[in-house]
Structure 1
Amino acid sequence: MSRGRQRSTSNTTQRESPVHNFASILDYHLAQRPDAVVVAQDERRLTVRQFHERVNRLAAGLAELGIGRGDVVGLLLYNRPEFLELVYAANRLGAVFLPLNYRLSEEEWQYILGHAQAKAIVTEPEFAPAVERSAGCLTDLEHRILVEDDSSTAPWTSADGRTATDAWTGYEDLLARHPGARVEPVDVGLDDLQRLMYTSGTTSRPKGVCVTYGNLQAKNLAHIVHFGLTAADTTLVCGPLYHVGGLDMPALATLYAGGGVVLQRRFDAPGVLRAIQEHRVTNVWLAPAMVNAVLEVPDRESYDTTSVRFVLGGGEKTPEPVLRRIMTAFPNAWFADAYGLTETVSGDTFLDREHALAKLGSVGRPVPHTRVRIVDDTGKEVPAGELGEITLRGPKVFAGYWRDEKATAAALRDGWFHTGDIGHVDEDGFLFIDDRKKDMIVSGGENIATPEVERVLYEHPAVLEAAVVGLSHPRWGEVPRAFVVFRPGASAGTEELREFCRARLAKFKVPARFDIVDELPRTPSGKVLKRTLRDLAAGGER
């Protein structure tokens, strides 16, 4: 989707209905189970009735600020109930919410907010100064809303001496102005935009993934069917809500089914076990690094984890010894290795309990209404067992990239989403991932596009050429490693390069190692041979 401010992608009023608005599910559950706890974090407990009331007051407050259909609202928050309140409130108005990765740099936030044409941003004190510094460059940004734990105090002062209360709207103040408000969910079509999520692809800038109401509805129903989610389920969200793993695997599906969620502000391995025991959690998504951290908690055996019936994983192959440790740590659960992308709202395939060991290494078979096809370079489907590009089709597949027709056309071809990942299916239809997207590093569950890191290195005045590959890491799986060629007569120290990157990139994207080389290996046509660099990195040379 390359248009400017997106109002609606539907072209017939017959297709529009509040039934399709995700926020309307909250009204249904209010009538069914008003006193059930729907969101919990630390000592906070919100029943469906309380959550519904706050969502409606927030929606009225946002409407007062002029937020309406198609307007983009950025969310730069740690995991907290307000994040989910904003999801429902924005959708109630037909607005689009934009989760921002809090691990990114100030420059990266500024780019995403500007590219998304965000009209408002909601954040908390830790990030407010950075947002304030960027606000002057963001012509579309009209409102800054601050979520404070104590709204009576201003936690920071801007460069010109203004406090947060002078320049910002207080979140709780916004709610307080609308007691008893009731905002009906607007009519939306299945093709209307529900959210924007920026993801690192194979380009130098992240791309905005357009997720529609139809995408989300298909994903929720697929996960409800596959895992048998009901109102009796409780999802622990210990991964970040800005990520589809935290938000959609399967938190929003659990809420859709009438269950509840428990939020961990930031991942804490012992806290995961405490939350499972206290809240009788039934499911949780854990990235590979998170799995390892939980398994290494010294007194893990002292916690009662018998309530967990499935653990969702994905991101890299799970070795059999690790899988057996997971099964011991969660004795009543199966580990559902998964494959999915931001572009498909996560969770396209899952490995079922019965085949957890028999199909070890597989990420399972597709969820309902999702098709997987392996194709060769010409787009022709290959036989079982042969490697090719993984392509996906179905109502979960995204609508396109925001304001990027070229990238959309490259990814969505002939009715199929071309993922760029390499894999194969066996004779039983189980998918195996054989290689990741070209030039992609996965570090602690986060995608790092190597051209994004290279772009920053090229901005350094001493750097002539740069290439970044993944370096194996015992905790994070991979970390970036940079190979740098200096300009004639120029030089820079490793720490100088590192600090240069730190000022422009999220911490996890900064190369862990810099190798200064005379030249980069290239093909006869001039393309950098990253496979050679990866082999070099794996061999521990230089």
Structure 2
Amino acid sequence: MHLSAMLDSAVRKAGDKEALVHGEQRWSYRELDATVRRAAAVLRDAGLRPGDRLAVMTYNSPAFLIAAFGAWHAGATLVPVNHKLQTSEVDRLLRHCGARLAVVDEAVGARATDAAADVRWLISRPDETPGKAGPDADADTSDSFEALVAHAEEWEGARGADTDIAQILYTSGTSGRPKGCVHTHRGIALTATYTSVTVPLRRDDRTLISMPIWHASPLNNWAMSTVFMGGTIVLQREYEPRGMLEIIQKERVTAVFGAPIAFLAPLRAVPDFAAYDLSSVRAWIYGAGPLDADSARRLMSAYGSTNFHQVYGMSEMGPVGSSLSPDEQIDKAGSIGRGGMPGVDLRVVTMDGTDATAGQTGEIWLRSDTRMVGYLDDEEATAKAFDGDWYRSGDLGRIDKDGFVTIVDRMQDLIITGGENVSSQEVEGVLRGHPDIVDVAVVGRPHAQWGETVVAFVVPGDGGAPTLDGLREWMEPLIARYKIPRELVLVTQLPRTPSGKVTKHVLRAELAG
């Protein structure tokens, strides 16, 4: 299915139903469709042609979705851009993807517009409401995306086939410079389909998008799935703990996605947390990391719900992968689930190329029709990422006796010291139990004698910073001695991707000097 056809279908099924909510701004599916057709005309008049790339660099605003569907209606490709990037990063990304037209939030400003001088920028001013004024209103010739859309004529568009390129998704870059994942309309539509079945989503769902919508999962798993089902997308411009609770209560949100910290943070940051009515939510969905059993129990108690779902996936796959259902959250805490979600095949492959059995560790491989076409202009990286139809995730997983898979580490994060394999995530899990540690990341430093040595980057708590000797003594009864860090680096915070993953290559580079 072409993504424009997905919107068409929602209009036919639920034309007068609320499709999009942002503060006091609201669109029915019929109104959203008309606005998208005007946006397509604006983009066409700005020079966008079928096959061209449109970069969109905004917060979670209506302009993002209107520009995205407008681009697809015009037969073009969407390139979501992280609104937190600096000018040099924006410039490199735009040059890499070849975009010549872009929509940017006015709050981002010169960080974007100073990049790539040959790109035309349309400025999104979120307080304006695109599409609400009629085409017969006085023409506005400014660079305001919303004003131009409001005064444009609807256009039938130039959409193509579902095998055309819909998106170029740039990876979060945990292992280095981000790569562009090229996805077709069909692949993204299937991602929405498989996600909808997994949770499952319903046509009466009101889905809150609090995590950055330019990220793969909020966009394709949750926004696109909501359109696929004919539900309502509710946007929070930027995540903030109290703001999330307020929107859930006001809009009677039924499904919420976030990193684990998005649900844990309100318990600390909002003293009157218990005063909010969150009873409308039937699906609390988290990804980008697991929850331990104690954290899961704490969340269930605080939120008054056992309906927590974990999802695991990769941008290269749509993203799709696996899921851990509500009834598995405690007994299988830390696991990503058993096998793949509907429409996805998952296996764990050992070093000798055979499928892992209970107790064994190997690389997680995924297979689905949602898979990317490849990395943009990088045949070598694409070839390394696949083995036939299987995508090699780079994640190491261990299978338990019931077939559930637990992420052990990233392959590039495995530390080999004195011939022994050390899982950085295992060491981090132990260190998180220390009373003076708020956050931690473990990496390897090259060592002439041992190959690598274990280094812990620690964010200390308010009670004082641990010492290396004290930490080693505390860990002695908890973990094998060769796994205990030999170096301790105290930091105020850890570098992270927008999805919350620690960028360990940055820490390794810091050690290298």
TM-score (norm 2): 0.78
Contact 1:23 1:185 in 2 (8 A): no
Q: Which residue of 2 aligns with 1:443?
A: none
2:382 aligned with 1:401, yes or no? no
Q: Which residue of 2 aligns with 1:130?
A: 111
Q: Which residue of 2 aligns with 1:147?
A: 124
2:316 aligned with 1:343, yes or no? yes
Question: Could you tell me how far apart the structure 1 residues matched to 2:78 and 2:331 are?
Answer: 41
- Tell me the secondary structure at the aligned position of residue 52 of structure 1: helix
Question: Could you tell me how far apart the structure 2 residues matched to 1:530 and 1:243 are?
Answer: 34
String of CA shifts for 1:466-497, please: whole Å, max 9, x gaps: xxxxx97999855799x9xxxxxxxxxxxxxx
String of CA shifts for 1:4-28, please: whole Å, max 9, x gaps: xxxxxxxxxxxxxxxx211112222
2:406 aligned with 1:432, yes or no? yes
Provide the aligned length of Structure 1 versus Structure 2.
435
- Tell me the secondary structure at the aligned position of residue 438 of structure 1: helix
Question: Could you tell me how far apart the structure 2 residues matched to 1:476 and 1:112 are?
Answer: 34
Q: Could you list the runs of 5+ residues in structure 1 that have no partner in the other structure? A: 1-19, 153-164, 441-470, 484-519
2:144 aligned with 1:170, yes or no? yes
Question: Could you tell me how far apart the structure 2 residues matched to 1:268 and 1:438 are?
Answer: 33
Q: How far did residue 277 of structure 1 move?
A: 1.1
Q: Which residue of 2 aligns with 1:24?
A: 5
Q: How far did residue 266 of structure 1 move?
A: 0.6
Aligned 1:287-326 pairs, distance under 5 A: 287-296=259-268, 297-326=270-299
Q: How far did residue 337 of structure 1 move?
A: 1.8
TM-score (norm 1): 0.74
2:180 aligned with 1:208, yes or no? yes
4, 8, 22: which is aligned to 1:41?
A: 22
2:447 aligned with 1:522, yes or no? yes
2:201 aligned with 1:220, yes or no? no
The structure-2 alpha-carbon separation of the partners of 1:421 and 1:354, relative to structure 1 and needing over 3 Å to count, comes to same
Question: Could you tell me how far apart the structure 2 residues matched to 1:326 and 1:401 are?
Answer: 38
Q: What percent of counterpart residues are identical?
A: 30
2:119 aligned with 1:194, yes or no? no
Q: Could you list the runs of 5+ residues in structure 2 that have no partner in the other structure? A: 130-139, 415-430, 458-484, 492-510
Q: How far did residue 173 of structure 1 move?
A: 3.4
Q: Which residue of 2 aligns with 1:374?
A: 348
Q: Which residue of 2 aligns with 1:78?
A: 59
Question: Could you tell me how far apart the structure 2 residues matched to 1:151 and 1:270 are?
Answer: 25
392, 407, 421: which is aligned to 2:366?
A: 392
Q: Which residue of 1 aligns with 2:235?
A: 263
String of CA shifts for 1:166-192, please: whole Å, max 9, x gaps: 9x732123214423x1324613133x2
String of CA shifts for 1:37-61, please: whole Å, max 9, x gaps: 1111111111112111111100011
Q: How far did residue 132 of structure 1 move?
A: 2.8
- Tell me the secondary structure at the aligned position of residue 360 of structure 2: coil
- Tell me the secondary structure at the aligned position of residue 32 of structure 1: helix
The structure-2 alpha-carbon separation of the partners of 1:348 and 1:57, relative to structure 1 and needing over 3 Å to count, comes to same
Q: How far did residue 144 of structure 1 move?
A: 1.2
Q: How far did residue 331 of structure 1 move?
A: 2.6
AA aligned opposite 1:148:
R
Question: Could you tell me how far apart the structure 1 residues matched to 2:280 and 2:3 are?
Answer: 28
Q: CA RMSD for the aligned pairs?
A: 2.9
Higher mean C-alpha displacement, 58-67 vs 338-347: 338-347
Contact 1:424 1:433 in 2 (8 A): yes
- Tell me the secondary structure at the aligned position of residue 228 of structure 2: helix
2:197 aligned with 1:272, yes or no? no
Question: Could you tell me how far apart the structure 2 residues matched to 1:287 and 1:416 are?
Answer: 26
Question: Could you tell me how far apart the structure 2 residues matched to 1:330 and 1:415 are?
Answer: 41
Question: Could you tell me how far apart the structure 1 residues matched to 2:19 and 2:438 are?
Answer: 32
Q: Which residue of 1 aligns with 2:48?
A: 67
Q: How far did residue 203 of structure 1 move?
A: 5.3
- Tell me the secondary structure at the aligned position of residue 364 of structure 1: strand
Question: Could you tell me how far apart the structure 1 residues matched to 2:437 and 2:114 are?
Answer: 34
